[in-house]
Structure 1
Amino acid sequence: MARYTGPKAKISRKFGDAAVLGGGKAVSRKNYGPGQHGKGKRSKKSEYSLQLQEKQKVKYTYGILERQFENLFHKAAVREGITGENLLRLCEARLDNTVYRLGIAPTRRAARQLVVHKHIVVDGEVVNIPSYSLRPGQVVSIREKSKSLEAVQNSLAGRGAKRFNWLEWDQSLLAGKFISYPERDQIPESFNEQAIVELYSK
Structure 2
Amino acid sequence: MNFTGAKVKKSRALGVALTPKAERIMKKRPNPPGQAGGQRRRRKSDYGVQLLEKQRLRFQYNVGEKYLQRMFERASRMPGATGENLVGLLESRMDSIVLRSGFAPTIYAARQYVTHGHFLVNGQKATIPSQRLRPGDVISVKPRSQSLSMFSEFRDQGSSVPYVEAELGANTARFLYVPERQEVPVKCEEHLVVEYYSR
TM norm. shorter chain > 0.5: yes
- Pairing of 1:8-23 with structure 2 (within 5 A): 8-18=7-17, 20-22=18-20, 23=22
SS in 1 for 2:97: helix
CA-to-partner distance for each residue in 1:122-168, whole Å, 9 max, x for gaps? 011111011111111111110011111111100113x06x5421111
The answer as to whether partners of 1:31 and 1:41 remain within 8 angstroms in 2 is no
Matched, 1:67 2:69: no
**1: CA distance, partners of 2:75 / 2:182:** 18
Unmatched tracts of structure 2, length 5 or more? none
> How much does 1:30 deviate?
6.9
- In structure 2, the CA distance between the partners of 1:9 and 1:32, relative to structure 1 (3 Å rule), is closer
**Structure 2 letter corresponding to 1:28:** P
Pair 1:109-2:108 in alignment: yes
Match of 2:155 in 1: 156
For residue 179 of structure 1, the aligned residue among 176, 179, 189 is 176
Question: What is the Cα deviation at residue 105 of structure 1?
Answer: 1.0
Q: How far did 1:115 drift?
A: 0.3
Which residue of structure 2 aligns with residue 25 of structure 1?
Answer: 25
- SS class of match (1:71): helix
Structure 1 contact 11–21 (Cα < 8 Å) conserved: no
Give the whole-Å Cα distance in 2 for the aligned partners of 1:17 and 1:118: 29
Displacement, 1:25?
Answer: 2.5
In 2, Cα distance between equivalents of 1:13 and 1:116: 28
- What is the aligned partner in structure 2 of residue 6 from structure 1? 5
Instruction: Assess if the C-alpha contact under 8 Å between 2:133 and 2:175 holds in 1.
Output: yes
Distance 2:119 2:90 in 1: 18
Report the equivalent of 1:52.
Answer: 51
Percent identity over paired residues: 36
- Tell me the number of residue pairs that the alignment of Structure 1 and Structure 2 aligns: 194
Gaps of 5+ in 1: none
Report if aligned partners of 2:12, 2:32 keep a CA contact under 8 Å in 1: no
The CA distance in 1 between the partners of 2:122 and 2:108, in whole Å, is 22
State the alpha-carbon separation in 1 of the partners of residues 77 and 133 from structure 2: 18
TM-score of the pair, normalised by structure 1: 0.89
| CA distance in structure 2 between the aligned counterparts of 1:33 and 1:169, rounded to whole angstroms | 41
Query: Closer, same or farther in 2 for the Cα pair 1:124/1:56, shift >3 Å?
Result: same
Q: Could you tell me the TM-score, scaled by structure 2's length?
A: 0.90
Q: Which has the higher helix share?
A: 2
Structure with the bigger RCO (C-alpha within 8 Å, sep 6+) is 2
In structure 2, C-alpha distance between the alignment counterparts of 1:111 and 1:31, rounded to whole Å: 27
Aligned residue number for residue 42 of structure 2? 43
